[in-house]
Copies of this chain bind each other. A is one copy, B any other.
Amino acid sequence: MEKFELTILGCGSAKPTLRHNPSSQILNVRDKLFMIDCGEGTQLQLCHNGLTFTRLNHVFISHLHGDHWFGLPGLISTMNLYNRTAELHIHSPHGLEEMMKPIMDYCNYDMSYQVFFHEFDTLEPTRIFEDRTLTVTTIPLKHRVPCCGFLFREKEGLRHIRREMIDAYEIPIAYINNIKAGADFVLPDGEVISNERLTTPPSKVHSYAYCSDTVFRPQIAEQVRGVDLLYHEATYAAEDDNRAVKHFHSTTVQAAEIARLAEVGKLVIGHFSARYTNDQQLLDEAKAVFPNTVLANENLRVTIDD
């Protein structure tokens, strides 16, 4: 099984509490770590969860409110203290590089590695990252400032070789990649061995969607339809829906409604307002609409199995 695991580093909202840290998460895809948002204190939460800084090369920032990025200066500095050499890539809506510039200029005289900022518009879904196994696409959200979520989707992988069949037919190694890609094999006597006999299907691909911060926006459901895991902010309880509208946030019930509409596998709710001291009420409200809901909590790990 390929690893596809979400770790919550912080799931509070902007006002600090002793119960929750500000927003940050790590998505572990086959032991590559992708950070989503980076509120103050995130670097300590990484340490606390035994997550290795060196496996982290990409950080995705949803919007420029401080509770989603004020942990970046410390994270960048600490990586330098550990003499990092690998590039760090920071993906965000427009404006972050300008805000970080004087800090980067102050540090740059003795930086051991390079930091690259990649900025984008948030109005249309945009593919902002791609590697051999994964794509990341923005999810337009509606908040007080330009804001987007992120849809992480694994690429369809290659088929798996059935070693015993390759051995039996003495298939040369040069043909293996084509067979993984779906090709049949023709024996010297002309017999065609179908690909289905030589391989098993590719591993299941996984998908994760992060949606914070936003008002209720049904279009989100269209874009995240069928994802294995959805994190949707639920800053407010259902009874506080007026506050949600006023502050461009969602309620528990609205988060669950997105999950229901999108028929996702599992919903994680978070970004809880400091006004609630009993998270169980929030969970109950969401579960009434979408039963397979869990509460985000610091250090919670959610693994997507095959």
* Contact partners of A78 in chain B: CB under 8 A: 14-16
Once A64-B106, A99-B102, A102-B102 are accepted as A-B contacts, the answer to whether A70 and B74 lie under 8 Å apart by CB is yes
Tell me the count of chain A residues lying within 8 A, CB to CB, of chain B. Answer: 31
The answer to whether B73 and A47 have CB atoms under 8 Å apart is no
The answer to whether B99 and A106 have CB atoms under 8 Å apart is yes
Contact of A15 among B81, B95, B101 (CB under 8 A): B81
1/0 contact string of A276-291 vs chain B (CB within 8 Å): 0000000000000000
Chain A 75-120 interface residues, beta-carbon cutoff 8 Å to B: 77-78, 81-82, 95, 98-99, 101-103, 106-107
Chain A 7-50 interface residues, beta-carbon cutoff 8 Å to B: 14-18, 22, 40-41, 43-44, 47-48
Instruction: Give 28 CB contacts A-B under 8 Å.
Output: A14-B77, A14-B78, A14-B81, A15-B78, A15-B81, A15-B82, A16-B43, A16-B74, A16-B78, A18-B48, A22-B74, A40-B40, A40-B43, A40-B44, A40-B71, A40-B73, A40-B74, A41-B44, A64-B106, A66-B77, A66-B103, A70-B73, A70-B74, A70-B77, A99-B102, A99-B103, A99-B106, A101-B102
